[in-house]
Structure 1
Amino acid sequence: MTGSSATATGPTRTLQRLIAALADLRLAIGLLVVIAIASGIGTAIPQQENAELYHRIYDNQPWLGLLNGDGVLGLQLDHVYSSNWFLALLAWLGLALLLCSWRRQWPALMAALRWIDYRSPRQLSKLSVAETVSLAQPQQGLDRLADLLAQQGWQLQRHPDRLAARKGVLGRIGPLLVHAGMVVLMVGAAWGSLGGHRQEQFLAPGRELELLDSRGHSQLTLALDTFAIERDPAGRPEQFRSQLRLLNPGDAATGELSVKKAEISVNHPLRYRGITLYQADWALAAITVQLGRSPLLQLPLQSFPQLGEQIWGLVLPTRPDGSEPVLLSLSSEEGPVQVFGPDGQSLAQLVPGGPAQEVKGLPVRVDSVLPASGILLKRDPGVPLVYTGFAIALAGGAASLIATRQLWAIAESSEPEGSSEISNRLGSEHPGRLHVAGLCNRNLTAFSQELPALLVQLDLDTSSGAQQA
């Protein structure tokens, strides 16, 4: 029996030590610091891009001089917030907060809700703040103290010769709400990372994008009416604005198509039916040219990263058989359009809307350049939980500012036992004492000054009552 009991006790003690280690507040703070550092890394490194981008950026210049493209991809730094190790940190922190609440905050709340009955003045003298006043009628002073405390919003528990009072118990709920809010917030963040959807699409004016649900049904049609790029005097882009039409086919059964018009720009996204639309980027979609006497031809543009970060162009043949091609390149919808030959020699410079110029014996004119709006569509099912958790944590932080105060008072009469009738008959009074003491979980200095002021008011009111009697 002894051996089995010892065997059962060993794992239990190990589990208790493990729980105590996980519930340590220092561990939770350390995890918060690590998560903050990881979030900073996710901000510094572009997220959820193609693997080629990370090789192009970090192979020649490793990040912090340590990680090249393979290192960034191997450590999942290209998708920090949905990486296995980041989600594991969130789960670890959530478990630590739950255990801390269970082992520390919940018992503290239960202790605050439980009435403690001190019966002797000696017990009160050991508390943080303790005062004793002499009163001719301590029982009357106890009654007056109960009235004053009730007027100030204290909860009371009365006994014939003593009382207990408390105020600000709501403050004990604050830490629990903060922990609960953080756990809800982290669950929402994890849910959004695992169940969310992110898509970046370039859309030219006059074109539409149909969004489908998981079953292939049309969920929303996104149409771009206009797209404008605002530039500074030096020609650098400052702001992008997209005028959108959102067509909801959910009302098609009634024969009506719901249409919502909206504008998005940088730092001003649009949230609609669980989808958030961000103005993320811009590009050049097409160029309209005229070759000789041909009709206007709208030709698609493609990016040339080997020529620069924001260089678009197309290869255009100058002969009917497709021979003698030239390269048209540009970096802005305003132009100019550079024309290069196969040997890289500049042949012409065209201005959108300007006159035609001869390129290898063929008049070429650029009528216009069509820019495209880069729209980022994000569906994050965890957003409601994130906002809810943030609100709970804020409410808990506000509640934590409320000081929890507890007060006890004992009326001690110095009259000999059985002498009250004789005292009343002779009109004499035996002085007694009123013992008052209290506890406060924060701002104890203010409470230690408030208690004597309360007793002075009590003494004045009691003296005034005695004189009137």
Structure 2
Amino acid sequence: MKNSKKYFEKIIVLLGSLRVSFVLLLLFCLVVAQRAIIAQKFIYLEDPPWFITALNAAGLDSPDLLAIPLYGLLVLLVVNLMLASITMTRRIRARSRNAAGVRDLETIQAMPISASFSVPLDGTALLTDFFKKKHLTLTREISGSECRLYGTKRTLGRWGVLLFHLTFLLILSGALLSVLTRYAGIFDLAIGETFLESRARYTSVTAPPILFSGDKKFQLRLDAIDLSYWKPGALKQNASSVSIFTEHGVPLGTHHLAINSPIRVDGVDIYQGSRTGFVAGLEAIDSVGTKALGRVKFFLPSRPEEPMISRVQFPGTNLVLDLELFTDMVGTIEGLEELGTQHKNKVSLLKVTVAGAHRIFYGVLFGGASLEVEGITLRFISLTPFTSFFAARDYGVPVIFGGFALLIFGLIITYFWVPEQYWGVIRQEENGERLVIGATTEKFKASFRERFEAEVHALQMKRDNQ
């Protein structure tokens, strides 16, 4: 039984050792480097550098090929730091127990930082007052003709190294939690439309997370768009007024959403997106009377001469149309008034062109009107401003920030909360009492020695003045 426990302790020490940490970190950096390099798509260079050629030759030409080793190394690093923290905690506690407690006179005299002098009387009161003025936690013991004292302060500083271990443990745990729970998606809304949070409703969304992959199903309605430009292409403000509802339509309040000023709904952060423009509602009717409704998005131009064009392909057909939007509504946006003056008719219309090897202009489609294009009747039924939103959920981010906060706390503890220990013995002699004082600290030992010698000198002066 004892042998098995001993082997178990050795395994814990080995897996939590610094050597294992370095090996795991090296492998982790190599895997991350592979993902980062390949993600930059340097593999498509005609003359790639040697390390890209080596990755291609090894078959590592996809960022996701080493996804499982990456997550495995992340788990092993977390385990390594947990075991290292356990080992470190045991060592600190053992060292604290060994260093604590009173010492005899000979042991104190053998310390690197110590002093000895005689007093006629009241040595115990003198030394006790000295320890108390230093705000030491005091322990006293009487043994025969000796009075032994032990004082300590700032013992929390011993745990500074452990806090660094816990910092990296917390950061890596947050990174692992982030990998397991994060997802992000983009969706667009026109004024008055409502988005129901589910993976199927996003315009673009990442792969489902490993943990907590269920839909939140809250509702977000776009009430107004607050958009302005300094000039075309130079955004001044992009914000929205939105209303939040539960899955069953219970109101949760209204919010003003702006870039870099997100809102959080049921653990999901909603950011104001950068895509803005108009969404045109179209109705298509084929020769047999089948109707289909669709939405076509037109993005605001970044330059005055840039047209607002969108391409549409009708489902089940080879018909592809290029639609160019002309509308005076763009002139109602602050900073884009000059674009609005280009549309003097104060109407909205679509210029319809059949795309292909030979482009064919079919005509102009006014708002509310119809246009027949190769057997399909196309109606322009609505035009509404729209904006985009970015949704992200990542439960690891607060944990990572907690790790950085712990790092700052650990730095403060390590460099400004240095532990100090003092020992003292008062021994009765024929002509009075003999005082022996010893001290130690873990850092800044040269300056601590100078301070100790100055304090002992002041204590001797106090004795001489009595």
TM-score normalised to structure 1 length: 0.66
Residue 84 of structure 2 is matched in structure 1 by 100
1:90 offset after TM fit, Å? 2.6
> C-alpha distance in 2, partners of 1:37/1:372?
44
Work out which of the residue numbers 137, 140, 160 in structure 1 matches 2:122: 140
Using a 3 Å threshold, how does the CA distance of structure 1 residues 241 and 27 change in structure 2: closer, same or farther? Answer: farther
> C-alpha distance in 1, partners of 2:268/2:193?
19
Using a 3 Å threshold, how does the CA distance of structure 1 residues 113 and 382 change in structure 2: closer, same or farther? Answer: same
Tell me which protein shows more strand as a share of its residues.
Answer: 2
Determine if contact 1:124/1:436 at 8 Å carries over to the other structure. yes
Residue 157 of structure 2 is matched in structure 1 by 171
Describe the SS at the equivalent of 1:72: coil
Determine if contact 2:102/2:140 at 8 Å carries over to the other structure. no
Residue 248 of structure 1 is matched in structure 2 by 246
Using a 3 Å threshold, how does the CA distance of structure 1 residues 346 and 459 change in structure 2: closer, same or farther? Answer: farther
Using a 3 Å threshold, how does the CA distance of structure 1 residues 218 and 95 change in structure 2: closer, same or farther? Answer: closer
Determine if contact 1:302/1:314 at 8 Å carries over to the other structure. no
Q: How does 1:179-190 map to 2 (within 5 A)?
A: 179-190=165-176
1:222 offset after TM fit, Å? 0.6
Determine if contact 2:245/2:253 at 8 Å carries over to the other structure. yes
Q: How does 1:129-278 map to 2 (within 5 A)?
A: 129-132=113-116, 134-137=117-120, 140-160=122-142, 161=146, 162-211=148-197, 219-228=217-226, 230-231=228-229, 233=231, 235-237=233-235, 240-249=238-247, 257-278=250-271
Determine if contact 2:296/2:312 at 8 Å carries over to the other structure. no
Cα displacement string for residues 358-384 of structure 1 (whole angstroms, at most 9, x for unaligned residues): x9xxxx999996554332222334455
Is the counterpart of residue 395 in structure 1 residue 379 in structure 2? no
Describe the SS at the equivalent of 1:186: helix
Determine if contact 1:141/1:458 at 8 Å carries over to the other structure. no
Cα displacement string for residues 301-337 of structure 1 (whole angstroms, at most 9, x for unaligned residues): 2699xxxxx98513599xxxx9997522579995898
1:407 offset after TM fit, Å? 1.3
Using a 3 Å threshold, how does the CA distance of structure 1 residues 301 and 277 change in structure 2: closer, same or farther? Answer: same
Using a 3 Å threshold, how does the CA distance of structure 1 residues 42 and 58 change in structure 2: closer, same or farther? Answer: closer
> C-alpha distance in 2, partners of 1:149/1:279?
61
Amino acid at match of 1:102: I
1:244 offset after TM fit, Å? 1.6
Residue 435 of structure 1 is matched in structure 2 by 436
Cα displacement string for residues 428-452 of structure 1 (whole angstroms, at most 9, x for unaligned residues): xx36542222111111122112211
> C-alpha distance in 1, partners of 2:88/2:456?
34
Determine if contact 2:194/2:220 at 8 Å carries over to the other structure. yes
Is the counterpart of residue 327 in structure 1 residue 331 in structure 2? no
1:453 offset after TM fit, Å? 1.8
Describe the SS at the equivalent of 1:117: coil
Describe the SS at the equivalent of 1:301: strand
Residue 420 of structure 1 is matched in structure 2 by none
Work out which of the residue numbers 89, 92, 106 in structure 1 matches 2:73: 89
Consecutive unaligned residues in structure 1, runs of 5 or more: 47-53, 77-82, 291-297, 305-309, 354-358, 416-429
Residue 389 of structure 2 is matched in structure 1 by 375
Amino acid at match of 1:442: K
Cα displacement string for residues 367-413 of structure 1 (whole angstroms, at most 9, x for unaligned residues): 99655433222233445544554444443443333111111122345
Is the counterpart of residue 117 in structure 1 residue 102 in structure 2? yes
Determine if contact 1:339/1:349 at 8 Å carries over to the other structure. yes
1:276 offset after TM fit, Å? 1.0
Amino acid at match of 2:78: G
Describe the SS at the equivalent of 1:128: coil
Describe the SS at the equivalent of 1:156: strand
> C-alpha distance in 2, partners of 1:246/1:344?
48
Amino acid at match of 2:73: L
1:165 offset after TM fit, Å? 1.4
> C-alpha distance in 2, partners of 1:323/1:378?
37
1:110 offset after TM fit, Å? 3.7
> C-alpha distance in 2, partners of 1:436/1:271?
60
Count of aligned pairs: 399
Residue 80 of structure 1 is matched in structure 2 by none
1:154 offset after TM fit, Å? 0.4
Describe the SS at the equivalent of 2:233: coil
Amino acid at match of 2:322: L
Residue 75 of structure 1 is matched in structure 2 by 65
> C-alpha distance in 1, partners of 2:34/2:445?
42
Residue 206 of structure 2 is matched in structure 1 by none
Determine if contact 1:284/1:369 at 8 Å carries over to the other structure. no
Using a 3 Å threshold, how does the CA distance of structure 1 residues 435 and 208 change in structure 2: closer, same or farther? Answer: same
> C-alpha distance in 1, partners of 2:182/2:252?
25
> C-alpha distance in 2, partners of 1:370/1:43?
40
Describe the SS at the equivalent of 1:104: helix
> C-alpha distance in 2, partners of 1:326/1:231?
30
Cα displacement string for residues 52-81 of structure 1 (whole angstroms, at most 9, x for unaligned residues): xx9xx66634997456898224425xxxxx
> C-alpha distance in 2, partners of 1:41/1:264?
37
Determine if contact 1:247/1:259 at 8 Å carries over to the other structure. yes
Using a 3 Å threshold, how does the CA distance of structure 1 residues 368 and 12 change in structure 2: closer, same or farther? Answer: same
Amino acid at match of 1:274: G
> C-alpha distance in 2, partners of 1:178/1:331?
61
Describe the SS at the equivalent of 1:85: helix
Using a 3 Å threshold, how does the CA distance of structure 1 residues 58 and 234 change in structure 2: closer, same or farther? Answer: farther
Describe the SS at the equivalent of 2:458: helix
Using a 3 Å threshold, how does the CA distance of structure 1 residues 136 and 150 change in structure 2: closer, same or farther? Answer: closer
CA RMSD, 1 decimal: 5.0
> C-alpha distance in 1, partners of 2:28/2:184?
22
1:96 offset after TM fit, Å? 2.1
> C-alpha distance in 2, partners of 1:163/1:197?
60
Describe the SS at the equivalent of 2:426: strand
